[in-house]
Chain A
Amino acid sequence: MKNSLIAISVAIISILMTISCTKDAGVVEGEMATDAEVILSQKLVGNTIDNCKEGTLLLFLEEETIARIESGEMEAVKSDIFVDKNIICFEPALRTPKNERLARELGLHRWYSVTFDSNIPVRKFAAEVAPSKHISAIEYNTMVTLAADYKVRPFSEGSYADTKATEISFNDLYAHYQWNLHNTGDKSIAETAREGADVGVLDAWTLCAGSPDVVVAVIDGPVKYTHPDLAASMWVNEAELNGVAGVDDDGNKYVDDIYGYNFNTAGYSNGQINWTTSGESGHGTHVAGIIAAVNNNGIGVSSVAGGSGNGDGVRIMGCQVFDGSYAASDRDMSNAFIYAADNGACIAQCSYGYDPGSYASDNAYINATSLEYNAIKYFVNPENCNHPSIGQNLVIFASGNETTSNAGYPGALPICVSVTAYGPDYLPTGYTNYGRGCNIAAPGGDYSIGAQNSSNKSQILSTCVREVAGDDYVWMEGTSMACPHVSGVVALGISYAAKIGKKFNGDEYRDIVLTSVNDINSLLLDGTKPYNGVSNAVVLNDYYKRMGTGAIDTWRLFMQIEGTPSIVVATGERCSIDLAEYFGGSATDLTYLGVEVSDEAKETLGISGNPTMKKGLLEIKCTKNGSAKITVSAIAGGGQLGGGNNIGGTEIKREVSIISRGVYSTNGGWF
């Protein structure tokens, strides 16, 4: 899958270069060709002028042009491209990435941003510069939105009846409201609350509650780094903390980036993380609290990977891209991904995305937002991996809240993990996107099923910005809230892998995450549930096999990190094997792509034909006693793979150990 995506990217760059070479021939600099609109349409990557940022454009320049700029001819190039136009700023779209070789390979060095008078229509300006021979492609600087409903419900301790949603062992004051971490099925949360509808973290905490060397970049609104329940969980850039104000002390091109950076270029925060801008909701701070609010500190909430109260939680890097009511652009997002990769984050937590109807396929998204796509590829490239226990960084996205049967991009890409949301009843929420491109489910909260007079409790309680919400803790719901649960579990798993000395290569860890799930499909065969006051609004069968591989479970992840047991088959018998240990609780519901068996394994086990997957079970016949490994591939998220002109799931591969012996029990028992 990764190879095919690289191929797509290369093909797109090739196409762009071809367009440039053929269409610019004969165009005189500064002369407006009569067919400028035609040329523009050919050079545009994507066609989404809707929601684009006014007064800016992203330009993909020719290699020769880049060479001229790098040899000191910037002014000449500017003059060539813009002639007598009044340009406010023309600069590389990205600050210099540390991994320059990779950045060049991905073409990131060729993206430039031009800023001009915002009263000039973007399309008009684009058409005027499009004929330039220096410009290979043009991209509108599209603005993206958060995946939340923006309804912040203030928390006020004491306003709710006694709640025993959970039996969390940490002493955090409000932990008993956090059904998302440990759900006892308490009916004061929701009449339909179901025991076990949680991320299964309670037992896992007895093994590991986090590690400060695991850094999660929260690419979102601001994380309030002074929050009493978050301050100790913040990633800290020591060089900047101990440096001189206004100086780039560590030379990373960012000034005073102590807890992260504010990449938003629409607002006026000048790089500093700012949670008081008008329109701020506290979203990013809420998300951060789900991942790593400090555990066992006697205040506030518990979190998935916030440690045990001994400074051992994972760390949050604040990558602010939304600034109050100022939306974020492609360029802002891209800089955040590069920064996160270059400054030590191994997980990018992204509760935002384009509306699911914006792009109909991977190619449509990649064509339209090539800069952001390649910035994400930069983040996940194994060369930039920021933790020794895994083969590559992971990007986790919310699937979106539009009740649509596909995930929003970029999360729908196979290189990202896209998260759907369930409520305390273990059922899909009415808002969650689902289906194509969705990979895994997690608690997102569900106001619509809340118990009478206390509906808030069926949402997710986490940290917030007192200055805007009136409290340090609020309830929120959305796939925005589901997403950080997965990020937290992923971070906790990396912490545990490091603790026990396990290392994973390439996609191995991501594949283990996507198969560490409990089944929810068996709850979706029939029935309905309410949404927004309509009692039967959610038809559960619509979500059957469409919530991803299942509901993420931390304990399952830990057990898979420790190691997955071999499958026992009977020598001489054709066996049908349940692969739940390898593919999770919904293993029989997954779509499988195939089974690979090496010649050596065939010889060892006495396999004449290829084993197959039938009705979700591995069918295999071994004629010799012995043990060997085979590889089984499946789709995480739906019945078709993403990539190219599809929107779909991602390929997951598991190496399955087989032992063939004379005795076999269907439940896997030795006797």
Chain B
Amino acid sequence: MMALVLCTFALLGCSKEKAESINLTSLVVGEWHCAPEGYDVDVYVAFDTEGSFNHYQRIGEGRYRHYAGTWFVEKDILNGTYSDGESWGSSYQVSFDGENMILTATNSSEEAMIYTKTTIPDDVKNSAIAPYTAKSINDNADLDTRWF
């Protein structure tokens, strides 16, 4: 009997967490804009209901660079992977303040960025280009040690 009760509580707990994630997911879905103070940065991101994202970033000069990938929310943590297989630099704790979404990095930096609900301008989407990376890597380069 006791075991059954615990199990029921556990199931209820799981369901509640899942419900919270689903609720948070629906809040994350949409188009957002981030222009952090102190940086020459302009970022738009669109999270869709299918778990895909497209983001357009202009860091410094030049056109917006377009990145895409997949995302999901687990508990109150937003995670993602780029379409090239790279994981995001951090996962983010999600919170909301009115119309703003606050993403706080879960890594040691605890960097918090404010995203404002917006509609991504067509000219941003239409003029964005893919990021440019070296197509060849020196065969002597140590690819596994880009981080130290």
Contacts and interface: CB of A to CB of B under 8 A. Distances in A.
Chain A, interface SS category: mixed
Contact of A665 (B45, B63, B86): B86
A8 interface: no
Contacts of A588: 134, 136-138, 141
Contacts of A518: 135
B62 A565 contact: yes
Interface string A557-598: 001101111101011111110101100011111000000000
B58 A565 contact: yes
Interface stretch (A163-171, A176-184, A281-289, A656-664): A656-664
B55 A671 contact: yes
B107 A669 contact: no
Nearest to B142: A615
Contacts of A521: 136
Contacts of A619: 148
Nearest to A576: B146
A571 B107 CA distance: 12
A667 B86 contact: yes
Contact of A671 (B39, B88, B136, B148): B88
A663 B60 contact: no
A670 B59 contact: yes
Interface residues of B, number: 49
Interface in B54-81: 55, 57-63, 65, 67, 80
A561 to B, nearest CB: 9
A562 B63 contact: yes
A470 interface: no
A69 B15 CA distance: 102
Given A518-B135, A564-B60, A665 B88 contact: yes
A616 interface: yes
A662 B140 contact: no
A657 B111 contact: no
B29 interface: no
A525 B139 CA distance: 9
A580 B65 CA distance: 14
Contacts of A563: 60-63
A667 B82 contact: yes
A669 B110 contact: no
A239 to B, nearest CB: 41
A90 to B, nearest CB: 56
Contacts of B90: 662-663, 671
The 8 tightest CB contacts between A and B, nearest first, are A662-B109, A563-B61, A566-B60, A522-B136, A662-B111, A563-B62, A574-B148, A519-B135
21 contacts: A518-B135, A521-B136, A556-B132, A565-B59, A570-B109, A574-B148, A576-B147, A580-B133, A586-B134, A588-B134, A615-B140, A659-B39, A661-B39, A666-B146, A666-B147, A667-B84, A669-B88, A670-B45, A670-B59, A671-B55, A671-B92
